[in-house]
């Protein structure tokens, strides 16, 4: 049962008639920035749904907070590309947050991070109107605060291998794995290992070279990059990547939680 279904089953969302101020939540755009702090405050009680981030430069997502609570479940940053507006329809379901907030919730959402070069960045968060009486306590929604598990970034050399890795900070269910390359053509990259707490998740029993694009934000095979792995705090997750490119570059990774 995916996170979106579990969440929506808790509310009566059959009425599609929207009230005022209940379509998309956003805030001021970051313009020409390398360090960004984006924020938005919902005017009315709402169910926060799919988060999309649009940026003119690659970069990291260090924190996403809802009502002051951090949604990152690891010790590393996520990345802007994982939240791309251009990701596949199925991928958008993985970006579903599923947290309900009351009207005028202070700091409804804040998104912080850095960009690899000066650029413009903004976000949109789809909403569904609720009554304040429908909004549960933060404690009752704890499972939905496990939103993403950052894998950080790594520079991979010419014809080299590199590893993205993180340590989880709390229990969660790992879902869709998203990988991005800042400058290297993805056709020159392959994934040779996906390990969760020492367990190899790739299916072969010999040398493997999965296309890097298998794990892109706009992949057509979302089922192929769903980890469906339960982890506890202090679990180690690592992704090994090989390059045959004639240039070096930065790689980034994010896992969405089920």
Per the listing, tokens 């769903």 go with 226
- Give how far Cα 13 sits from Cα of 50, 91, 226, Å: 15, 22, 27
HEC assignment per residue over 172-232: EEEEEEEEEECCCCHHHEEEEEEEECCEECCCCCCCCCEEHHHHCCCCCCCHHHEEEEEEC
**pLDDT for 13 beyond 80:** no
Assign domain 150-257 to a CATH class: mainly beta
How far apart are alpha carbons 80 and 45 in whole angstroms? 27
Chain centroid to CA 254: how far? Answer: 6
**pLDDT for 209 beyond 60:** yes
What tens digit of pLDDT does each residue of 215-226 get? Answer: 988 877 767 788
How many H helices and E strands in the chain? 2, 18
On whether the pTM is more than 0.75, the answer is: yes
pLDDT score of 219: 79
Q: How confident is the model at residue 205 (pLDDT cuts 50, 70, 90)?
A: confident
Look up residue 146 and give its two tokens. Answer: 């496990």
> Are the beta carbons of 208 and 161 closer than 8 angstroms?
no
Chain centroid to CA 73: how far? Answer: 11
- Give how far Cα 58 sits from Cα of 23, 73, 106, 132, 140, Å: 27, 21, 29, 38, 35
Nearest in space to 178 (alpha carbons), one of 101, 255, 126: 255
Percent over 70 (pLDDT), the chain: 93
What tens digit of pLDDT does each residue of 66-111 get? Answer: 999 999 999 999 999 999 887 765 567 889 999 999 988 877 999 9
Q: How confident is the model at residue 16 (pLDDT cuts 50, 70, 90)?
A: low
pLDDT mean across residues, the chain: 91
What tens digit of pLDDT does each residue of 107-149 get? Answer: 799 999 999 999 999 999 999 889 889 899 989 999 899 999 9
| Beta-strand pair 172-181/236-243 | unpaired
What tens digit of pLDDT does each residue of 186-202 get? Answer: 999 999 999 999 999 99
Domain ranges of the chain: 3-146, 150-257
Residues with Cβ within 8 Å of residue 19, at least 6 apart in sequence: 44, 129
pLDDT score of 91: 66
């Amino acid at each position: 049962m995916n996170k979106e279904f579990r969440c929506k089953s808790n509310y009566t969302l059959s009425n599609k008639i929207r009230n005022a101020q209940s379509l998309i939540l956003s805030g001021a755009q970051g313009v020409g920035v390398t360090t960004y702090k984006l924020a938005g405050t919902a005017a009315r009680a709402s169910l926060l749904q799919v988060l999309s981030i649009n940026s003119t430069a690659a970069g990291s997502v260090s924190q996403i907070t809802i009502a002051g609570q951090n949604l990152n479940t690891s010790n590393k940053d996520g990345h802007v590309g994982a939240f791309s507006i251009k990701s596949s329809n199925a991928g958008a379901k993985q970006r579903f947050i599923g947290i309900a907030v009351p009207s005028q919730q202070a700091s409804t959402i804040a998104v912080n991070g850095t960009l690899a070069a000066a650029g413009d960045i903004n976000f949109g968060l789809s909403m569904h109107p609720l009554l304040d009486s429908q909004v549960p306590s933060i404690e009752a929604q704890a499972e939905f605060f496990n939103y993403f598990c950052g894998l950080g970034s790594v520079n991979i050399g010419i014809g080299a291998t590199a590893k993205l890795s993180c340590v989880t900070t709390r229990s969660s269910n790992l879902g869709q794995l998203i990988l991005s390359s800042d400058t290297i053509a993805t056709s020159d990259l392959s994934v040779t290992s996906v390990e969760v707490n020492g367990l190899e998740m790739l299916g072969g029993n010999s040398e493997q070279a999965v296309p890097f694009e298998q794990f892109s934000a706009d992949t057509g095979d979302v089922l192929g990059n769903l980890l469906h792995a339960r982890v506890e705090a202090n679990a180690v997750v690592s992704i090994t990547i090989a390059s045959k490119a004639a240039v070096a570059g930065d790689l980034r990774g994010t896992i969405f939680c089920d």
